[in-house]
Structure 1
Amino acid sequence: MSRSMAGNFFGKRRDDVDVTIDSMGGEAVRAQRLASELKNEKSSLDSQLRQLGDICRRQRCTINDLTEKQRELRERERGLQASVTQLAAQQQQLAHLTQQRKKRRADIELLKEQAVKEFVESALEVAAELREMDALEADSEAQESEVMRAAREEVESLQAAVQGLQLTEDTSDVSNDIAALDQFREFVQKINSKMASNKPRN
């Protein structure tokens, strides 16, 4: 190889090396820039990961809260179901008591009607008995008045006979007056027995 050719060769190699060095320097700059971008992206990703972690923790808390609330709601639902069952039993008992009260009220009304009916019947019977007693009493009073009138007439007749007995001395007349007196006594006894039989009974 001649000197000129060698010079050309080495000169070209030097140029290539310079170009290569320049190219490598550019690549290094790009690599540094990429490293910086990657670092920034890593920082951004780390921040996003932290945010996601916070979100996950909040979601876990939210899920736990929801689970707790769901448990509380189930407990309340069971309590409400028990209350509904108890209320249904109370309503059934109330309906039974209401039915018994209606029946008892109907029985009381029937007893009232029977009592009023019996009272009216008793009052009518008492009124009839009183009217009958009044009629018997009036009849007895009328009979007693008739008996007293007849007795009064007999007494007046007896008094007249006694006065006639005091005025006469005839024994036959005295015997007649005594016989008349005996007849009057019998008459009075009959009147007394009749009055006793006609006397109203309590």
Structure 2
Amino acid sequence: MSKSKDAAAGSIILKYLNDQNRPYSSQDVFSNLQRDHGLGKTAVVKAMELLAQQGKIKEKVYGKQKIYFADQGQFPSVSDSEIKGLDVQITEFTSKVQNAQQSCRQLESELKELNSSMTTEEMMKEMKELKEEYSRHQDKLQKIKSATNHVTPEEKEKVYGERKQFCKEWRKRKRMATDIFDAVLEGYPKSKKQFFEEVGVETDEDYNVTPPDV
């Protein structure tokens, strides 16, 4: 790399460390500046070592790793009261950030709910369909109310009563017939089936019917 490029790289790195005013490894600086400035890893390492030798930045060695940071002597000293004031500001800004984050979460939740809701056009369409359905049901209800063939509760009760009586009589007569057949079959030499065939008896079972439960 030419001296002009070395100087440019050194200037970029020096400004970056002074602006950030926090410790970095050469790898950190390379990763942070490579995309915007296209600095190579070797150029970054060389420039940072040169800046440290010139006393423009400070270098600390921790094991096999070197850490670089801005020379603190260039910054004005800060009193305890100023530090306390900065701490108060940090606390205030932290609170504001937390409130802003909470508001963002709430707005995101509301946005999600709105996105999942029906649009105005969809609601208008559904309302139209519901009105049409309501109108159809109203017409059907009106036809039912105006019909003249309704069964009164008294007529319905009479029909159910007669049905119950007929079913009761059915079971009664079936028991009577069964008792008679059983008495005859005690002295009959053939089977029950043969007896029914000879006599011409047709049973409920022949037609797969049984008296309904009432």
TM-score between both structures, scaled by the size of structure 1 = 0.28
Higher helix share: 1
Question: Whose Rg is larger?
Answer: 1
Higher relative contact order, chain-length normalized (CA < 8 Å, sep 6+): 1
